[in-house]
Amino acid sequence: MAQQELQVVFLNHRDALLRFLRSRGASENAEDILQDLWLRVVDMDDSAINTPLPYLYRAANNLMHDRFRMTQRARKRDNEWSETTHGTGGASDAPLPDRTLIARQQLAEIETQIGKEGPRVFQIFRRFRIDGISQRQIAEEMGISLSAVEKDLQKAYRAIAAWRERENGD
Amino acid sequence: MAEINDMIREQAIAWAIRVREPDFADWDGFTQWLEADALHNIAYEEALLAEDQYADLVEALDEPSDKSGQPGQDSISHLRQPANDDHAAPVTITRRRVMSGAIAAALVAAVGAGIWTQMPQPYDVMTGPGQRKTLTLSDGSRIQMNGDTKIELDRKKIRYAHLDRGEALFTVVHDDDDPFIVDSGNIRLVDAGTEFNVVKSEDILDVAVSDGVVIYNPERENISLPAGKRLYRDGARNRVTVSDISIAQVGAWRTGQLGFTGEPLKQIAQVLSRNLGVNITVSEAIAARPFSGIIQLKDRDPQNIEPIAALLGVQAQKQAEGWILIGDNAVP
């Protein structure tokens, strides 16, 4: 029965999923996180899921990324708090309209940085990451090879990483 | 201290892109890459944070500008968070999960290591007998190394590998403009497709193709090997033979299955040593004797070679270091 397929696949691949969680940095929390994943699976109507195993891996992958972001945020908040108390100033001190301005400026900077790799690079990245279009589809749309799409995407990711490095590094 | 270098960062970006594809399926390969080094996961998260930052900015700025029936209160509460804080977590949870010093240090190192040179940066990857390793290159190509294998790579030449010795299965991301090249001794293999296995031991080079096409020595013999073909070069006799091979048989060593079609026992002993991690030699008298058949190594005790010797029709004798295969006593 389709209703239980996801659960069956989960149980059959429990060890592999656990191993994956560990490789994604779950360490001693891996069992807890797997349990968390299981609770989501149990209540789920899986009739729309065609490929259960990749679905489970993706869910596990997202769980780990959410956790990582949470940790990052906690760290950032602590840093901002200490910056404020030590009077060195920080983004959190800015009034709200300024924060919109800052966000606009950041977006413009990132887009300029990606744009330096060529207009196609920016266009492809935008289609891939914001519109959620697959690389194959982008390749067809633009009449270029799949590997050209992949290369352009790598350039875009690299450009953002370089921007972040400058922005965050002292 | 280990730190995230350019190579790891490039690999992380390649994985972030591949994994995001809706039909991504190579979760095993991804797990293996993550397991190879704890820094890989941090580099992968960094790549995700970079793309998130862009997407979050787009989202944060698009929403307030869309004024259709949106109360102003909503956009303000949205902006109260840092820009990338789209689904804020309860403070009670986040406060407890303070990042460990090691990870924080690694992230600082990652930010600091931005120097990019154009100099060749060769490095070797080796496996001991019986050991295996999977490498994922930054272009997404994979090299699965069997035991006792040495490969030279170059951080500045991602589409190149030199197989010094041993055996490896190359699963190459094909690019018409930038073919992947595998050299071994003075032999050159150029991919015009995707998956092939290469064995190098002393004078022997054994290439088997399971997907796409490989060109053998394009500047000289220029032999095109499509999927299902195997090229066997005996350097000592300077002879090249091309034969058929079942595609399922290519790289079957990964599942512990070794297939032979008339190779001399001397070579088979090397294959066994490489896979089992035990030194196996052959007495001179039977070194050239050919063997055809399949040997399953899975679940076998590497300390007991006798059952395998029986399959080969010979006897195994324990030595100070490993085993020697000798002729069956029944044969004069």
B23 to chain A, closest Cα gap in Å? 8
DSSP code, position B247 = G
> Is-above-0.90 flag for pTM?
no
All residues at 6 or more sequence positions from B52 whose CB lies less than 8 Å from its CB, including other chains: A69, B84
Residue of B nearest to A65 (CA): B45
Report the run of H or E that residue A152 belongs to, with start and end: helix A146-168
Three-state secondary-structure class, residue A32: helix
Ramachandran angles phi, psi of B73, nearest 5°: -55, -40
Low-confidence ranges of chain B (pLDDT < 50): 1, 63-118, 330-332
- pLDDT, tens only, B36-75: 999 999 999 999 999 888 988 888 876 443 333 333 333 2
Hey, of B11, B31, B80, which one would you mutate to test binding to chain A, going by the most A CBs within 10 A of its CB?
B31
> Cβ A157–B175 below 8 Å, yes or no?
no
The predicted structure's pLDDT at residue B68: 36
Residues in A touching B20 (Cβ below 8 Å) = 128-129
Pairwise CA distance, residues B7 & A154, whole Å: 13
Q: Are A25 and A64 in contact (CB under 8 A)?
A: yes
Q: Is A51 on the interface with B (CB under 8 A)?
A: yes
The predicted structure's pLDDT at residue B136: 81
The predicted structure's pLDDT at residue B76: 29
Mean pLDDT of all residues belonging to chain A: 83
Provide the ipTM.
0.88
Three-state secondary-structure class, residue A139: helix
What residue has token string 């940790």?
A: A71
**Tokens representing B146?**
């069997």
**Tokens representing B126?**
């080796």
The predicted structure's pLDDT at residue A97: 67
- pLDDT, tens only, B106-136: 443 333 333 333 456 778 888 888 888 888 8
Pairwise CA distance, residues A91 & A84, whole Å: 9
The predicted structure's pLDDT at residue B64: 40
**Which segments within chain B are labelled E, that is strand?**
122-127, 133-136, 142-145, 149-154, 157-171, 181-184, 187-191, 195-201, 204-211, 213-216, 223-226, 229-234, 239-244, 257-264, 280-282, 290-296, 315-318, 323-326
Other beta carbons within 10 angstroms of residue B239's beta carbon come to 9
Residue of B nearest to A74 (CA): B94
What residue has token string 């968070």?
A: B81
